[in-house]
Structure 1
Amino acid sequence: MRLQAQLGDVDFITGDYLAEVNIAENAEAYAAGKHPGYELSAWDGLEQTVDLLAEKRIKVIINGGAQNPKGLAEKTQQLINEKGLSLKVAYVEGDNLLPIIYDIKKNGLPHLDSDNSQVNIAKDTLALLESESKPIVSANAYLGAREIVKGLELGADIIIAGRVADASPVIGAAWYWHSWSDTDYDRLAGALIAGHLIECSAYVTGSNFAGFYEYPLDSLYDLVFGIAEVDNYGSCVITKHENTKGMVTEDTVKCQFLYELQGNIYLNSDVKGILDDVKVEEAGKDRVRVWGIRGAPPPPTTKLAIFYRAGYQSEILVNATGYATAKKWDMYERMMRFGLKRRGILDKFDVLDFQRVGVPQPNPRSQLNSTTYLRIFAEASDPAINIGLAQTMSEFAMQHFSGFHSSMDQRTAIPKPYLSYYPALYPQSSLHPSITLLSPSPSPSPSSLSTTLKTTPPPTFSPLTPRLSYNTHLPIPLTTRTRPTPLGTLTLARSGDKGSNMNIGFFIPTSLPSALPPSLQPAAYAWLRTFLSISKLKELMGDDWDDGFWVERVEFPGIMAVHFVVYGMLGGGVSGSKRLDGLGKGVADWLRDVVVEVPADFLDALGSKAEQRGYM
């Protein structure tokens, strides 16, 4: 936060501090009196930066208030008062529905994906509805920007919210700055995507970037965060402070645009963003223009993120070195299942998964190159079941295969309580959000002379409709003159989590040092959208594909991208997923490493760059 204020001119600093799970983890500690309820890093940033905010008249909008926005706001106002600064603080409430969640549950909690009959909702996810023994620890509805705008109109300099949506601080800043109305849907949708592009730390300035290997490695850490310059029409330029590390290119922006999308419609409490016609174009060094977003009235519901105590997790990691590794893991899994069955607990686990991680390197030059590990992941309602897993391992400790060894620390085998996630739909008209402006007077307390205003829901809603999903409408004949090459030689990609679902978008890069000549890029995209069908994605996923998953596919021709959502791939999602990569962030790089038949004309055009791109 301080660097954003210090290194250049900005009008607003916005911040998204809330992953879906950390607000729940802190809620438990807050309820037990062991945590202040707000994000400690949000206070750290405000404490470091408040003098600069006053000096440069920069406004701050953050959701770091988490479960206690009032507490962080009052602490911040007290600091301002003590320093004698001229800043006003406000806080947003109304997202926390925990006090009434059991009443809401009695009336039904439709799942976020319940409108899609093709989606199989994970059985363990539905445990919240089917059992009374799953205590709910947090229930937060995603709010929009309406309260933020009202706070700015009241004169607030710092607005602290709880669970407003990731992009809502940016929407609120642009809405207020340009004096938009709440029906300026195209403008609001553009600001929504501007917020989406800069809300994830340094993801738009070089972090988590699929093409990182073509840039000096020392330029890819200690990065500054992105800046969005939002114009009166909702279009934006993404940039960063000058003379800082990292980069803003067409490809870093496209990667972040494709991160955690829901498809071609981006839902927010204030607007639907329609993404089909998005365009991205370089506008100067570290400056990229984004436009073409259309808007529509928001849906009548918002997401209600519910976390509950689901049971206990444990994992065991054991290693194998060298010859006949596959047979070693076959034997070890049989042995463990035999022991668990003899104890009478094999069928008592909610989840029991034996995951083989890695493949030994052929003709290895070191033992580490010859070593892989087995991850045994378990979930159960009763911790005694998980303890039985550790006891079984101990029972057979000296009955192992040759080359067996384990990690030094096996504390992960001890059952650990975990929270599971249930995303529900909740009517916006049933919410009662508010904005409270604190008194800047040091005495009495900041809250005693505060002003609280209730806000109203959006004036118009448009219903949720089935999402688009299609293979390309413009297929081309696929050439037979191809060469087997990793898919990533021709494409970049980004993937991420949407609860129990995983999204992934592939695109033809345009700004990499090794990019295809501009004259060939449209032809490469024509190949990509024809080749990368729904059935081809399933094929690329190999053993990870499960017929219980459901795939949606859309195209973004303005950025030469193909986008998928794979429903159900992350199981319970967030903290409840059995996958090693429970957030799906590594799926893009895995699939880019899969060898496919790529047209030789493109590889010929890349020449030696193909080796750099594909590490062939």
Structure 2
Amino acid sequence: MSSDVRSNGSTHRVLRIAGVSGGVFDRFRSIQDLAKDPSIHVLFGDWISEISMTFRGNERASREPDAEQVAFEMSFISALTPAIKDIAQSKQKVAVNAGSCDPEAMAKVVQRLVKEHGTDLKVAWVTGDDVTTQFTELLKAGETFASLPSDTPIDQWGVDPVCAQAYLGGVGIAEALRHGADIVICGRVADAAPVVGAAMWYHNWDRQDFTQLAHALVAGHLLECSSYVTGGYYTGFKKELLYSDNCTNLGFPIGEIEANGEFVVTKEETAGGIVNVQTVTAQLLYEIQGPLYYNSDVTARFDGIQLHQEAPNRVRVTGVVGLPPPPTTKIGITAKGGWQAEVHFFLTGLDIVEKTELVKRQTLKSMGEYRKEFTTLTFNVTGSVAENPRNQASATVDLRIFAQSKNPDIMSAGTHKGVAPDTPSFGKWCIENCLQGYPGGTPAMDLRQSVGKPFFEYWVALFPQDKINHEMHTFDGKTIAIPPPINKHIYPRQQESYDTFSPLPLDSWGSTVRAPLGHIVHGRSGDKSSDCNLGLFVRHADEWDWLRSLLSISKLRELLADEDTGKKIDRFEIPSLFAVHFLLKDHLDRGANSSSSYDILGKNVCEYIRCKVVDIPTRFYDRGTI
């Protein structure tokens, strides 16, 4: 396979790889449309998340022998099926993690599909991410598996693990492609691993080519969330996307990776969206944890990265420093947490605080001693009443009563077992006080959420790579072992964290305007288990000294206000991107799988901070807001 792309007067091979999915819910058109473009060599996608891993892991661990139930992501099959003939005609490769907890089962389904469509596409699969057996053995031997967010040993978790999955790298994918595979089905590989593996194969890189591998890792990080890098979640959407046709069909991203690792981020030419330095910076800052980005194959250093807008919708990425990988990789451990449910009331007009207190006191009284059965029970008001509101909607807030318990009967989750309908339960305790309740008392009429549903706890720790049985399985029956890295480095558990060096006095820029930070500051935030990362950056070089001087750790705590949990906050800077990055340790109430918060993914932490009012230098504000 070859691709000759002319750049700066020279001709060289460039891998064109397209990100076709950022999750199970992404737009299905991606594979079908991009498969028609023979200039794209590889289609890759991310179909699994920490949430889906827990559900699929539990399905795999709890199913009966010989059961037909599968634990992979069926949405990939739906997206792939109409594109199979075009993939074959375009001679493309496909690498995905949609195999989740059952990559072999998915590979067999795909093998059948490609034959039914009259093609000879070869299917391989990668295994080894299921480390439940090794995890159990190490646990019995005394390994503590300390939580990455909190450093707490796993024996303080309070629940029983059911399965464990390790994050694999891209070497198994590279081997599959080198052995002739056209479609590679993986389970829990790192989100960027398909790009690392595809680039290793295409450019014939060695496992010690750390500079090249680190660039590919960053490329994968930028591309794996599909349209996040082409305008999705972009804080500049209002002016650059909203009032144009570009906002309704954002193009899927394409990376052009060169032999030295440097690459360009671009997108589908026939679709909307935008690729500029700001969209790429935002995605670069998404879900990272510090200046070092760890992967099973390589470690990338972020704080020297350079971005250059070389043409419309084309951003070149250089300056990534590559280092050896650590001897460990991340592991996600799933446990059954119990049952959760919620009930909503609408409160309107005056006395919102007092109305909430009345609901709380009446509900707790109804629960009586059963209150002790709840592991989580919260009463949270969302929204606020506008001053002198012009309509009822702007005068109404949502009171959410959220509960978790290990007792299915009091969560109404045991009714299918024949529990009597008058058995005391969460939903009944919440609703029975309506007629003695607050003025205007109105519950949400769809009470299905008041019936308990299972939830899972998720524990993130480190796992030794040399305990993983990483294997690649070919379409013709071969199994090839993928050894752990030989050249590796032990890194401190705590990444570098610091406030800015030589901050300037905040009156250095003269007069100021009181305005929301986000009027001139872009950003992005996200989750990694219960950690929340937050990256904030400015557009212009002369604004950088102000941003770094303003955004200290103590200033962030001030802006967080009531949202400050008091836990550790790490900070580092990327001066080349005019960016300050924070990692809020253990900020997200146990993570997406079991959180009692609406912001289960941490994505709204950034928008909360951007709406906080600060003193902005007038000269910056007068340039125009984002």
Same fold (TM over 0.5): yes
Is this contact kept in 2: 1:94–1:434, CA < 8 A?
Answer: yes
Aligned with 1:223: secondary structure?
coil
Q: 2:468 aligns with which of 405, 411, 431?
A: 431
Post-superposition offset of 1:278: 1.0
**C-alpha distance in structure 1 between counterparts of 2:547 and 2:370, whole Å:** 48
Kindly report which structure 2 residues correspond to 1:536-547, keeping only aligned pairs within 5 A, or say none.
Answer: 536-547=555-566
The two structures, once aligned, show a CA RMSD in angstroms of 1.9
| Distance (whole Å) between structure 2 residues aligned to residue 128 and residue 364 of structure 1 | 52
In structure 1, the partner of 2:122 is 88
Could you tell me whether the CA contact under 8 Å between 1:310 and 1:419 is conserved in 2?
yes
Residue deviations 1:339-378 (CA, integer Å, cap 9, x gap): 33xx113343221221110001111111111000111121
Partner of 1:512: none
Question: 1:27-106 maps to which residues of 2 (within 5 A)?
Answer: 27-30=57-60, 31-32=62-63, 33=67, 35-106=69-140
Aligned counterparts of 2:602 and 2:101: Cα–Cα separation in 1:
27
Alignment match, 1:381? 406
| CA drift at 1:569 | 0.9
* Paired letter, 1:550: K
2:115 counterpart SS class:
helix
Give, as a single letter, the amino acid of the residue that structure 2 aligns with 1:9.
Answer: S
- SS at structure 1 position matched to 2:366: helix
- Show the counterpart of 1:271: 298
Q: d(CA) in 2 for partners of 1:34 and 1:315?
A: 33
Q: Output the CA distance in 2 between the equivalents of 1:331 and 1:215.
A: 46
CA contact (8 A) 2:125 2:184 kept: yes
Residue pairs, 1:331-410, within 5 angstroms: 331-340=358-367, 343-386=368-411, 388-410=425-447
Name the residue aligned to 2:506: 478
Would you say 1:417 and 2:454 are equivalent positions?
A: yes
1:573 to 556, 574, 591: 591
- Aligned with 2:50: secondary structure? coil
- Cα deviation 1:218-277 (Å, max 9, x = unaligned): 422322311111112212100012131111111111111111001111110011111110
In structure 1, how many angstroms separate the alpha carbons of the residues matched to 2:446 and 2:203?
56
Does the 8 Å CA contact 1:128/1:422 hold for their aligned counterparts? Answer: no
Q: Does residue 170 in structure 1 map to residue 195 in structure 2? A: yes
Deviation at 1:474, TM superposition (A): 3.5
- The structural deviation recorded for 1:197 is 0.3
2:551 alignment partner AA: L
Structure 1 residue matching 2:124: 3-state secondary structure: strand
Shift of 1:109: 5.0
Q: What amino acid sits opposite 2:96 in the alignment?
A: I
- Alignment map for 1:147-166 (pairs within 5 Å): 147-166=172-191
**Amino acid aligned to 1:544:** E
Alignment of 1:598-613 (within 5 A): 598-604=616-622, 606=623, 609-610=624-625, 613=626
Deviation, structure 1 residue 542: 1.0
Task: Give the residue type in structure 2 aligned to 1:185.
Answer: F
Is 1:233 paired with 2:252?
Answer: no
- Pairwise CA distance, 1:86: 3.2
Query: Could you tell me whether the CA contact under 8 Å between 1:26 and 1:35 is conserved in 2?
Result: no
Gap change, CA 1:112 and 1:574, over 3 Å in 2: farther
Shift of 1:385: 4.5
Q: Distance in 1 between matches of 2:559 and 2:49?
A: 29
Output the amino acid matched with 2:438: F
Kept in 1, the 8 Å contact 2:50–2:593? The answer is no
Find the aligned partners of 1:76 and 1:392 in 2 and give their Cα distance: 49
1:401 maps to a residue whose letter is: Y
Letter in 2 for 1:25: F
Judge which range, 450-459 or 91-100, deviates more: 91-100
CA pair 38-540 structure 1, distance change in 2 beyond 3 A: same
Match of 1:443 in 2: none
Letter in 2 for 1:12: V
Q: Distance in 1 between matches of 2:139 and 2:309?
A: 49
C-alpha change, 1:78 and 1:394, in structure 2 (3 Å) is: closer
Measured at CA, do residues 302 and 504 of structure 1 come closer, stay the same or move farther in structure 2, by a change above 3 Å?
same
Letter in 2 for 1:537: L
Show CA shifts across 1:130-157 (max 9, x none). 54xx453432110001111111111111
Q: CA deviation at 1:78?
A: 2.5
Q: Which residue of the partner structure matches residue 590 of structure 1? A: 608
Q: Do structure 1's residue 503 and structure 2's residue 528 form an aligned pair?
A: no
Match of 2:5 in 1: none
Normalised by the size of structure 1, how large is the TM-score? 0.90
Q: More deviation in 550-559 or 475-484? A: 475-484
1:189-204 matched pairs, under 5 angstroms: 189-204=214-229
Q: Which amino acid aligns with 1:477?
A: P
Q: Is the 8 A contact 2:131 2:165 kept in 1?
A: yes
**CA 1:38/1:189 → structure 2, altered by over 3 Å: closer, same or farther?**
same
Q: Displacement, 1:485?
A: 0.2
Q: The residue matched to 2:230 in structure 1 has which SS?
A: coil
Tell me the amino acid that sits aligned with residue 380 of structure 1: S
1:376-432 deviation digits (Å, cap 9, x = unpaired): 121122234545432322332212111221112122122221111011211000111
The aligned counterpart of 1:17 is 47
- Mapped partners of 2:404, 2:71: distance in 1: 28
Q: Does 1:26 align with 2:56?
A: yes
The within-5 A match list for 1:177-192 is 177-192=202-217
- DSSP-derived class of the 2:226 partner: coil
Deviates more, 1:92-101 or 1:463-472: 92-101
Provide structure 2 residue ranges, at least 5 long, that are not aligned to the other structure: 1-30, 413-424
Equivalent residue runs for 1:555-566 within 5 Å:
555-566=573-584
